[in-house]
Structure 1
């Protein structure tokens, strides 16, 4: 199979195209003839070695890529409910392996697209993060019908699906922030009630308080979010894309505000609770099928994986990047 391999941590130039043996599925796994592989900021973290200190994550040599779409190639022992040739998409998998023409996946982390009419590029770009959004909003932040929500970094691939998922759960007002005025246009497709820049969102809210803040950014944005929380408000922590560290928050900072900060890492959660994956995905696949959830998707061939990483690091991606295989 064709694959992009990282033999050592470093810049985009370490992404090397090579030929590897086709993997065979083990028990509980399927192999997928990959047509589309999502590219996300977490892939950049893997490539640079930002996550190298975590013993539970793969180390070089490795094939990056957490999510793919394609068709079922082969079923491993014990796998039922799928047929060879069936269109599928995977959720985020910490085992990686997506930048390849054949990908192994846990069957429990694989969702059928049969008879949905969902485009595979949209599926791999949106469904994994929409599933993250559904789990985070229902099981962690406990978003209630009629509550307001603000999404930081809303033009990014992880954050964007939160808007449609929150609407489907009954959120009354959904707003977002972006890193610069130039990115406001990138968020227009999402159907937000308002979009602010991250350096002015507190002033621009003009006293409006927010029930749930979705924050994959961290740093100064995270600290400022405490000042716009409604009583019993929650900040949902999903990552740390910011280049600035967090301001330490004490328990007193939270209880004086009647507020909470709640973390959620979907990869670790689903690895420990694989049975939660498919039910959550099935709750949001209809949003893709109906067009309620649509992202801008730009495609590059697998051979241009290094260019995809450069574009991400330079913050020149207006929606989601997907590699075609």
Structure 2
């Protein structure tokens, strides 16, 4: 199989595209002929070595990639409910590896059939894993209730863009997004189900007296602290990323006490393997939002040989959607 291998922790140039033996599925796994592999910010952080001391994450040499779409080529022992030749998409798993290749082996419990959904495989891998993340974060962690108000930072990013549509299907009363001030003139926000998109740098002034029951923060940094001032009593902030790259930022935790508020971290890659029974409901919730056109994510497809360029684009924060690799 063709594969893009991270040969060492470091800059994007550490990628090497090479030939490796085709992997075979083990018990409870499926092998997939990959048509599209999603490139995520977590892939970049792992390649940079930010998590190199964390158990369960790969070390070089390894093949990155959490999420793929494609056709099942083989079933491992004990796998039922799938057939060879079936189109599928995968959700995020703990291993954070294997997707940047022409063949990927994935746990069957994290694999979702696409037959009958009408969802294109490129859109599926761009949108379904993130929409499943949004569904689980909003239902199992933030416990979003019908009629509540939601604020989403980094509103046009690949992960954030899944939240407004899923929130709508769960009965949110209003959804406001934030982007960098320079992005407001791009016109992209109108295709996503936000009531309004404002500049994150002007958050306090832009939202005025409005207060939010759930804040979704994949950005981090100063906007995380600013968000405490626009949260309602018993408001919940979901920490789902750190796109700002500000690893030293801290928040005044006494504000949580005074405001009766909560900050809740969520990583689907570590949650789903511990709760595999949640994969199918999350996928169904995701496909509902995607099928209704509520998760409109801009995609850019690059050949597998340009994995390094894909990572450079993600690092620069210039994607405004999701980059996919096509083996």
Pair in the same fold by TM > 0.5 = yes
How many aligned positions are there?
324
- Of residues 277-286 and 63-72 in structure 1, the stretch that sits farther from structure 2 once superposed is 277-286
**Deviation at residue 188 of structure 1 after TM alignment:** 2.7
- Of residues 299-308 and 104-113 in structure 1, the stretch that sits farther from structure 2 once superposed is 299-308
CA distance in 2, matches of 1:290, 1:196: 25
Instruction: Find the counterpart in structure 2 of residue 154 from structure 1.
Output: 155
Instruction: Find the counterpart in structure 1 of residue 165 from structure 2.
Output: 164
CA distance in 2, matches of 1:254, 1:191: 29
SS in 1 for 2:154: coil
Query: Contact 1:189–1:295 at 8 Å: present in 2 too?
Result: no
CA distance in 1, matches of 2:47, 2:265: 24
Establish whether residue 247 from structure 1 lines up as the match of residue 256 from structure 2.
Answer: no
Query: Contact 2:200–2:223 at 8 Å: present in 1 too?
Result: yes
CA displacement, residues 6-33 of structure 1 (integer Å, 9 cap, x when unaligned): 0101111111100000000000000000
Instruction: Find the counterpart in structure 2 of residue 292 from structure 1.
Output: 294
Q: How does 1:1-325 map to 2 (within 5 A)?
A: 1-95=1-95, 96-182=97-183, 185-244=187-246, 245-250=248-253, 252-325=254-327
| TM-score normalised over the length of structure 1 | 0.97
SS in 1 for 2:259: coil
**Deviation at residue 141 of structure 1 after TM alignment:** 0.4
- Of residues 289-298 and 229-238 in structure 1, the stretch that sits farther from structure 2 once superposed is 289-298
**Deviation at residue 272 of structure 1 after TM alignment:** 1.2
**Deviation at residue 243 of structure 1 after TM alignment:** 2.7
| TM-score normalised over the length of structure 2 | 0.96
CA distance in 1, matches of 2:76, 2:289: 30
The runs of 4+ residues in structure 1 deviating greater than 4 Å are: none
CA distance in 1, matches of 2:70, 2:279: 18
